[in-house]
Amino acid sequence: MDINEDIRQIRNDIDRVKQDLDSINRIQVLASSGVIIQDIKRTVGKSKQMIVALSLTKVSLSSSELAEALRIDQGNLDKVVNPLLEGGLLYREKRGKFVYYRRSTRIDLIGFDKNPEFTDILEAWKNSTHDK
């Protein structure tokens, strides 16, 4: 084997390990979905903005996009996202001068967007945005 073949094999091995870890993570999340829902509820408390932020960040959003969607000043965004970051429910990624937010994979795995404990709040939020 030459060096290029060795590198290719190492990359394949790393990809296989990543896939295995992802599968293990999915199994753990699905097995503990009730605990995760309780973590979300404990973190967000009664904050509709935090629940909406989790819904909006299904896709990666810049801080300005997220603040605009939440209808808040960008300077106040930390009040919404910091508890979510600390709770491991949201990730912050810096790309150059910009900051982007995306929710944790476990939020997707528990079916957050279809969970009745959160859908009513999300619907009320959507309806209130149409009223303004």
pLDDT at residue 10 is higher than 70: yes
Contacts of the segment 49-52: beta carbons below 8 A, 24+ positions apart: 49/80, 50/80, 50/83, 50/84, 51/118, 51/121, 51/122, 51/125, 52/121, 52/122, 52/125
- Give the Cα separation of 21 and 42 in Å (integer): 27
Report the length, in residues, of the chain. Answer: 132
pLDDT digits (tens, 9 = 90+) for 73-90: 999 999 999 999 999 899
Placement of tokens 């969970």 in the chain = 115
pLDDT digits (tens, 9 = 90+) for 95-119: 899 999 999 988 888 888 888 888 8
Mention every residue, 6+ apart, whose C-beta is less than 8 A from residue 46.
Answer: none
pLDDT tens track for 26-76: 777 667 778 888 889 999 988 899 999 999 999 999 999 999 999 999 999
